[in-house]
Chain A
Amino acid sequence: MIALLSAFLESAIRTATPLGLAALGELVVERAGIINISLEGIILCGAFGALVGASHGGVVAGFAGAIGAGVATAALFAWFVVRLRTDQIIAGTALTILAMGLTGTLYRALYGAAGAALSIATARPIAIPGLSRIPIFGAGLFNQPVVSYVFYTSIPVLWWWMHRTLAGLGLRAVGESPVAARAAGVRLSRVRTLSLLFGGAMGGLAGGTLVLAQAGTFAEGMSAGRGFIAIAIVVLGRWHPVGVAVAALVFGAASAVQYLLQAAGLGLPYQLFLAVPYVLTLAALAGVAGRTRAPAALARPDEA
């Protein structure tokens, strides 16, 4: 029973990590008043960056490649929505389509037929001395790849930065009332660009997690809607770091239950299980979205 619980926790955290990383990045972006639909494309580019990096220089280069690719994609998005002030949803959708096309083309061009068999160095789980020995949940929570620890630590750090520093106050002001923030001397474009780049780094890292800590390889379209689910997680977490982390963990737990049921072999069609995260997102949004309040200036580029 304890072994099962431990495996369940381990699986829940593993699924929650990329979702949580991407969602925490998107949280900062949305608190600056921007909705980044291209997060899906950022994760995909991050995954491809991880493949390129890792096949040349191991795991560390893989993560560097993932973050670099995520930041580059986010920079392109920032150029369109912050500088050119284009529609955020259309630009974000276009960038996601671009990411699908670019990663697909580059993958086939660079790795060709060997693609399917290609596998690379992966990030092994690291057991934290002491903590991983805690009975019941220690092994599940503290014997994880390094990215899960990045996820854990970024929750309090982000909370402290957003709610206890002047820069964090500036960020929230930009998302609530850009006009007032500007009058108070906050540089709008700078705050928005920097938050987008941060979101890109986190999204890229999420993509890197898929390749380096989970699949051990790249597949076309492997982001599989996680960017959109992460955006939903920000809503479910009510635009607060702790809430977002909890929502990501709930998603991880739901997926873990799904794996367990699938392994139990109840004779249910497997497509039913594959559809669970998407249907769950819809149901959860219907339950929460109407009762929470988004940053007032979200997705309204004109009000500045």
Chain B
Amino acid sequence: MIVATTGAAIVLALGLFLAVLKYNPARAAYALFSGAFGSWYAFASGTLVRGTPLILTGLAVALAFRAGVFNIGAEGQFLMGATAAAAVALYGPALNRPLVILLCFLAGSLLGALWAAIAAILRTRFNVLEVISTIMLNFAATYLVSYLVRGPMQEPTHVYPQTATIPAAAELPRLAAVRLHVGFFFALAAAGVAWWVMRSTAAGFRLRVTGANPDAARSAGGIDVHRVVFSAFAISGALAGLAGAIEVQGVTFALYENISPGYGYTAIAVALLARLDAALVVPAGIMFGALEAGAAAMQRDAGVPSVVVSVVEAVLILALLGARSVRQRFREAV
């Protein structure tokens, strides 16, 4: 009931906002919907393709937040994963296709994890707030990619700020007639594994306890909190890095500067909407994938700037926060 009311209120407010700015809300809504769900092609090539990195980065954020680690750095870890995968694909050994793909995945996850490990060391050894350090690392990663694609990794003609196209052996297989690649199924598998680990294993339990109450975890549970925090950072970074690798191998086939339209930030909305539950990250990621795909269509067909999606994301997070707080007070009052 609350969800439906809040949802309706958000849609109405957004329509009003667009109308005030002299856009046509009906046309925008139609373009948004048909861009995301209008046909099997639109759904598979737009919504699911954009949903794939959002599921993986959403998992990264959800796992970290569950452990009480505010990793806002999925964006930078995604970029580093994309960089590693592109580097291995371009300069790595020429093996058979499954091996090359696997090697690129490993490289992407590893560099994503290492990039997150910087923030983990800063937090566990130097007491640096990870919200600040991961944001700083996002900027550093952005400039590093910018340097690489204009410098050592630039394509051979030195005209465009991007790498050469990766060899066919590193490309992910696609479904017939659509742009959906097998990376989507890897994302689903990752969500399944993460859900199982969180629910049914000792490691998942330690992670949840540490997030819920680190002091109790340390004193009553005998848990090495630093170690759990470090693992949470590393796994989170590996998932975001894998998202970057899959984006390069399944969608862009090259590394360039603006390879991520802010997936790492949208991931926060995905994780919160999924209530940090790995299984719910899948529908939440697909929903935001639909929103992103629809927004691109909306900009093309109705002239509405696609950054408006950020407004929707933020309002959604705030509405969820507000609703949770109101519900809590209601319970306290009763």
Q: How far is the CA of A220 from the CA of B147 in the complex (A)?
A: 22
In the assembled complex, 20 residue pairs joining A and B whose CB atoms fall closer than 8 Å, in A order, are: A84-B322, A90-B268, A93-B268, A93-B317, A98-B318, A100-B310, A101-B310, A104-B307, A108-B307, A109-B23, A225-B139, A271-B146, A271-B150, A275-B143, A278-B143, A282-B118, A282-B122, A282-B133, A285-B126, A290-B126
> Residue A98 contacts which of B22, B126, B150, B310 (CB distance < 8 angstroms)?
B310
Q: Is the CB of B147 within 8 A of A271?
A: yes
Q: Is the CB of A289 within 8 A of B326?
A: no
**Given that A101-B313, A278-B140 are known contacts, is A87 also in contact with B127, CB under 8 Å in the complex?**
no
The chain B residues found within 8 Å of chain A, CB to CB, are 21-23, 70, 72, 118, 122, 125-129, 131-133, 135-137, 139-140, 143-144, 146-147, 150-151, 265, 268-269, 272, 305, 307-315, 317-318, 321-322, 324-326
Q: How far is the CA of A202 from the CA of B322 in the complex (A)?
A: 26
**Interfacial chain A residues near B140, Cβ < 8 Å:** 275, 278-279, 282
Name the interface residues of A248-304: CB closer than 8 Å to any CB of B.
Answer: 269, 271-272, 274-275, 278-279, 281-282, 285-287, 289-290
**Interfacial chain A residues near B143, Cβ < 8 Å:** 271-272, 274-275, 278
Q: Is the CB of B272 within 8 A of A89?
A: no
Nearest to B121 among chain A residues (CB) is A286
Q: How far is the CA of A91 from the CA of B321 in the complex (A)?
A: 8
> Residue B307 contacts which of A105, A275, A289 (CB distance < 8 angstroms)?
A105
Q: Is the CB of A80 within 8 A of B139?
A: no
Q: Is the CB of B311 within 8 A of A102?
A: yes
**Interfacial chain B residues near A105, Cβ < 8 Å:** 21, 305, 307-308, 311
Nearest to B328 among chain A residues (CB) is A85
Q: Is the CB of B321 within 8 A of A80?
A: yes
Nearest to A272 among chain B residues (CB) is B147
Interface centre among A91, A97, A228, A275, by most chain B C-beta atoms within 10 angstroms, is: A97
**Interfacial chain A residues near B309, Cβ < 8 Å:** 101
**Interfacial chain A residues near B265, Cβ < 8 Å:** 97
Q: How far is the CB of B119 from chain A (nearest CB, A)?
A: 9
Q: How far is the CA of A104 from the CA of B310 in the complex (A)?
A: 9
Q: Is the CB of A271 within 8 A of B144?
A: yes
Q: How far is the CA of A159 from the CA of B315 in the complex (A)?
A: 37
Interface readout for A45-86 with B: 1 if CB under 8 Å, 0 if not?
Answer: 000000000000000000000000000000000001000111
Task: Tell me if A194 is interfacial: C-beta within 8 Å of chain B.
Answer: no
> Residue B136 contacts which of A86, A95, A281 (CB distance < 8 angstroms)?
A281
Q: Is the CB of A228 within 8 A of B128?
A: no
**Interfacial chain A residues near B136, Cβ < 8 Å:** 225, 228-229, 232, 278-279, 281-282
Q: How far is the CB of A207 from chain B (nearest CB, A)?
A: 17
Additional pairs, 8, CB under 8 Å, beyond known A95-B314, A98-B311, A286-B128:
A37-B131, A80-B321, A94-B314, A105-B308, A224-B139, A235-B132, A275-B140, A278-B143
Task: Tell me if A231 is interfacial: C-beta within 8 Å of chain B.
Answer: yes
Interface readout for A96-131 with B: 1 if CB under 8 Å, 0 if not?
Answer: 011011101110111000000000000000000000
Q: Is the CB of B128 within 8 A of A285?
A: yes
Q: How far is the CB of B38 from chain A (nearest CB, A)?
A: 24
**Interfacial chain A residues near B311, Cβ < 8 Å:** 98, 101-102, 105
Q: How far is the CA of A229 from the CA of B128 in the complex (A)?
A: 13
Q: How far is the CA of A94 from the CA of B307 in the complex (A)?
A: 14
**Interfacial chain A residues near B314, Cβ < 8 Å:** 94-95, 97-98, 101
**Interfacial chain B residues near A104, Cβ < 8 Å:** 305, 307, 310
Q: How far is the CA of A229 from the CA of B322 in the complex (A)?
A: 28
**Interfacial chain A residues near B151, Cβ < 8 Å:** 269
Q: How far is the CA of A85 from the CA of B272 in the complex (A)?
A: 17
Q: How far is the CA of A187 from the CA of B41 in the complex (A)?
A: 59
Q: How far is the CA of A16 from the CA of B133 in the complex (A)?
A: 20
Q: How far is the CA of A272 from the CA of B144 in the complex (A)?
A: 8
Q: Is the CB of A89 within 8 A of B122?
A: no
**Interfacial chain A residues near B122, Cβ < 8 Å:** 282, 285-286
Q: How far is the CB of A175 from chain B (nearest CB, A)?
A: 16
Q: Is the CB of B70 within 8 A of A84?
A: no
Q: How far is the CA of A37 from the CA of B268 in the complex (A)?
A: 14
Q: Is the CB of B317 within 8 A of A97?
A: yes
Q: Is the CB of A225 within 8 A of B135?
A: yes
**Interfacial chain A residues near B324, Cβ < 8 Å:** 86
**Interfacial chain B residues near A286, Cβ < 8 Å:** 122, 126, 128
**Interfacial chain B residues near A108, Cβ < 8 Å:** 305, 307
**Given that A94-B317, A97-B310, A271-B144 are known contacts, is A85 also in contact with B325, CB under 8 Å in the complex?**
yes
> Residue B139 contacts which of A90, A278, A287 (CB distance < 8 angstroms)?
A278
Nearest to A285 among chain B residues (CB) is B128
Q: Is the CB of B23 within 8 A of A86?
A: no
Give me the 7 closest cross-chain CB pairs, A-B, nearest first: A101-B310, A98-B314, A104-B307, A101-B311, A94-B317, A271-B147, A275-B143
**Given that A93-B72, A285-B132, A286-B126 are known contacts, is A101 also in contact with B321, CB under 8 Å in the complex?**
no
Q: How far is the CA of A178 from the CA of B170 in the complex (A)?
A: 57
Interface readout for A217-238 with B: 1 if CB under 8 Å, 0 if not?
Answer: 0001000110011011001000
**Interfacial chain B residues near A281, Cβ < 8 Å:** 132, 136
Q: How far is the CA of A89 from the CA of B265 in the complex (A)?
A: 14
Q: Is the CB of A228 within 8 A of B146?
A: no
**Given that A105-B307, A275-B143, A286-B122 are known contacts, is A80 also in contact with B317, CB under 8 Å in the complex?**
no
